[in-house]
Structure 1
Amino acid sequence: MTNDAITDMIAQLLNARAADASICPSEVARALAPDQWRALMPQVRAVAADLALAGALRITQGSVEIAPGAVLAGLTRGPLRLRRAP
């Protein structure tokens, strides 16, 4: 899967939601690879982190914003959410 395809799917899913809504990275992976979505999760998280570093989106866990570097370093555990940048 290309990073561009993942970026496009993130944008598509966010644009289909209310402005203050979020998406789960697994929604992106499932939309792109329904039968092998789990294998795609590390790449989806990495692309999301790159987008967050560029200021294009925010990564949250509960009400806490997560540093993109923590995602890239694999330091996060548990569910993450992707939100539009302010």
Structure 2
Amino acid sequence: MTEDHGSTERFTVSIAVLVLLLQQSRRQQAGLVLAQVPAPLERILSITSLRTTFQIAPSLEQAIQTVTVTRAVTPASGPSPKPLEAGG
């Protein structure tokens, strides 16, 4: 199983972007669920031990449901998660 240099570079950039989004979502107390993750990227997440860091849903609908359920069970005393804002 070999990958060309371009594929490796794309996955490296993808991981960097995902980590930045995760950091941003945590700062904004927003939910982040990855949906329809391609098998090669999920494999890279596993190899880098990031698989357990991200919530992953098989479909966009299930990702939205996960975020909605997470918001519903957030304690009223704490700040509720906000939508992720670009550039934040």
Query: Between Structure 1 and Structure 2, which shows a larger proportion of strand residues?
Result: 1
The two structures share one fold, judged by TM-score above 0.5: no
Please identify the structure whose Cα radius of gyration is greater.
Answer: 2
After TM superposition, the score normalised by the length of structure 2 is: 0.30
After TM superposition, the score normalised by the length of structure 1 is: 0.31
